[in-house]
Structure 1
Amino acid sequence: MSSQNTPSTPPAPPPVLLLEALTRVHGSGATEVQALRGIDLAVYPGELVAVMGPSGSGKSSLLTLAGGLDVPTSGRVVVEGTDLTAASRKQVAALRRHSIGYVFQDYNLIPALTAAENVALPRELDGISSRSARREALALLAEMGLEQLADRFPDEMSGGQQQRVAVARALVGDRRLVLADEPTGALDSETAEAVLALLRNRCDAGAACVLVTHESRFATWADRVVLVRDGSVVDITLRSSEASLLTGGTAQ
């Protein structure tokens, strides 16, 4: 009796970012504020996850913990298999330098460096030559339509231009996890769409991206939309269920 081989489904890749039972409490006693309450979230290679919610819901706290910029009160943050909550400061710094690109809401560009130097800096810290780092930086600035700003300092740029340079800095190199806190906040609609297209392309190339945004139209670029309220995840909507996103329903 002949047996027929059934092709097996390949196992799912491990998540690039894993948050488990994540809580963050600020202050104590009468001033205690619970920013996050038992957040569970996994973000996989090739996936763009949009995090939405009202002001003060915990979106930015989630992002700073995911990027190793803050320490949770309890729970775990795992990036590329490394538990940030158990790692040393040196290990966390190395992981952030090599694997994580972070777009800050207030840009965080270094005033004494030009646009090209700001974008090249993470690659230089990775250990590549200044010439190669600048070449990569210039290519990415050109991709974002910013080549004419390469030698300008941050105070010589508009807020929207600084925002795009900050996005370029987060995307330069092979960052496996890109965290973006309102990256389109200072941009006009056309430029914002171009920036989101870059994030989408980076995800399609294999990175995992988490986007904090208050604009539902920008969330349509995402594979999943995670709704956070009062420090808890209250809904996760798939991009394929646009009606559910618009009505606030839960995707099946």
Structure 2
Amino acid sequence: MSDDSQGGSAARPLKVDGVDVDLGGVRILRGVTFDVRPGEVFGIVGPNGAGKTTILNVIDGVVRPSAGTVRYGDVDLSRVRPHRMRDHGIGRSLQSTHYFRDLTALQLVALGELPNSVAGALRFRGHRKRREAEKAARHTAMDVLEQFGLTQYANRPLSELSSAVQKLVDIARAVVSGGELLLLDEPTSGVSGHERGAIGEALRRLRTLGRTIVLIDHDPGFVTGNCDRLMAMNFGEVLDVGLPDEVMNSDAVKRSYLGEAADIDVEVEKSS
């Protein structure tokens, strides 16, 4: 893992400006504009179909915008292919680790250090230093598992772990694969309420290490308690950007969640 991955030393802002996405003749995103400050935990909220995951897909190059730009520091991410995002210090967690359930926690986290394209993996497979690289990847993975307090799960398959621990393990993989900017797709999905505090604690630990985090989550209490700022979306457009309490209590956001300007009962999940 690079120096940036270890400490996030090169602080850079993320700027999304006027992004449209058209897929199959349907406008998925409309003029989406926002910025994420270095070292910030930035949350994206909204009902299903609002365009939240599409935003992450645009940032990490999976979806190309029809218009607008995405810049991370001096880098135009619109020109970077997905398997090259790691080179620019960007890692992403998954909504689900179901397809990796037979891997151990250590194996999954170590994947973040290995080539992240098919061509790269094929070249790596035949490389004379493959074993040395695999050993180094396992060493890095164990270091990150230790940072997350997960070493006791290192040699256990994901299928034996709770949803919360699986999420933490995958966030650890994202740290290894990227480093400075982490894109977290629904980190509390499937996690019980009392276990979500562990996810929030991991976010705070990453922030102290200098990481910048962009996350999607459906739990108003979690995002309000753990994000510095929020962006609310609906129907592919930005409704509001600002402090969590202000955004979640705006009439437009209340209507998008509930269909009317009613109070949202937000239980903040944030440890002291």
> What's the counterpart of residue 20 of structure 2?
23
Post-superposition offset of 1:157: 3.7
**Contact 1:59–1:212 under 8 Å retained in 2:** yes
Give the superposition deviation at 1:183.
0.6
Q: CA deviation at 1:136?
A: 3.0
Q: 2:123 matched to which residue of 1?
A: none
- Structure 1 residue corresponding to 2:169, chosen from 137, 158, 165: 165
CA contact under 8 A between 2:91 and 2:178: conserved in structure 1? Answer: no
Task: Find the counterpart in structure 1 of residue 46 from structure 2.
Answer: 53
Tell me how far apart the structure 1 counterparts of residues 159 and 41 of structure 2 sit (CA, whole Å): 32
Q: Is the 8 A contact 2:11 2:39 kept in 1?
A: no
**Within 1, Cα distance between the matches of 2:147 and 2:182?**
18
- After superposition, the Cα gap between the structure-2 partners of 1:119 and 1:223, relative to the gap in structure 1 and judged at 3 Å, is same
Aligned counterpart in structure 2 of residue 227 of structure 1, from 214, 229, 232:
232
The alignment of Structure 1 onto Structure 2 pairs a total of residues equal to: 228
Structure 1 pair 204/109, CA: closer, same or farther in 2 (3 Å)?
A: farther
Change (3 A) 1:142 1:68: same
Check if 1:187 corresponds to 2:180: no
Change (3 A) 1:181 1:149: same
Q: SS at 2:70's partner residue?
A: strand
2:89 aligns with 99
Query: What do residues 184-235 of structure 1 show as CA deviations (whole Å, max 9, x unaligned)?
Result: 1122233322222222222233221111011111112111011111111111
One-letter amino acid of the structure 2 residue matched with residue 153 of structure 1 = P
Specify whether residues 38 and 15 from structure 1 end up closer, same or farther in structure 2 by C-alpha distance, changes over 3 A only.
farther
91, 100, 105: which one aligns with 1:115: 105
Distance across 1 between alignment mates of 2:92 and 2:11: 21
- Structure with greater helix share of residues: 2
Could you say what secondary structure the match of 2:194 adopts? helix
Match of 2:242 among 233, 237, 240: 237
Instruction: Provide the C-alpha distance between the structure 2 equivalents of 1:86 and 1:174, rounded to a whole number of angstroms.
Output: 18
Unaligned runs of 5+ in 1: 1-12
TM-score of the superposition, structure 2-length normalised? 0.73
* Letter of the 1:85 counterpart: S
CA RMSD, Structure 1 to Structure 2 (Å): 2.7
Aligned residue number for residue 248 of structure 1: 250
Instruction: State the AA in 1 paired with 2:85.
Output: L
User: Could you tell me which residue of structure 2 aligns to residue 71 of structure 1?
Assistant: 64
- Cα displacement string for residues 2-41 of structure 1 (whole angstroms, at most 9, x for unaligned residues): xxxxxxxxxxx9743221111111212xxx2x21101111
- Indicate if the aligned counterparts of 1:68 and 1:96 stay in contact, CA closer than 8 A: no
Q: Provide the C-alpha distance between the structure 2 equivalents of 1:57 and 1:188, rounded to a whole number of angstroms.
A: 24
| 2:34 matches 1:37 | no
1:212 is matched with: 216
Counterpart AA for 1:116: L
**Whole-angstrom distance in 2 between the partners of 1:25 and 1:246:** 28
Task: String of CA shifts for 1:28-66, please: whole Å, max 9, x gaps.
Answer: 2xxx2x211011111121111011011111111111111
Q: Is the 8 A contact 1:56 1:230 kept in 2?
A: yes
Partner of 1:5: none
- TM-score after normalising by structure 1: 0.79
Task: Please list every run of 5 or more consecutive structure 2 residues that lacks an aligned counterpart in the other structure.
Answer: 1-9, 117-129, 253-272
The one of 177, 197, 201 equivalent to 2:201 is: 197
Does the aligned pair in 1 maintain the 2:104–2:157 contact within 8 Å? yes
Query: Would you say 1:62 and 2:58 are equivalent positions?
Result: no
8 A contact 1:57–1:231 mirrored in 2: yes
Distance (whole Å) between structure 2 residues aligned to residue 164 and residue 14 of structure 1: 24
Counterpart of 1:215, as a letter, is: D
Q: Given residue 24 of structure 1, which amino acid in structure 2 is its aligned partner? A: V
Given candidates 50, 59, 76, the residue that maps to 1:83 is 76
Q: Distance in 2 between matches of 1:198 and 1:181?
A: 15
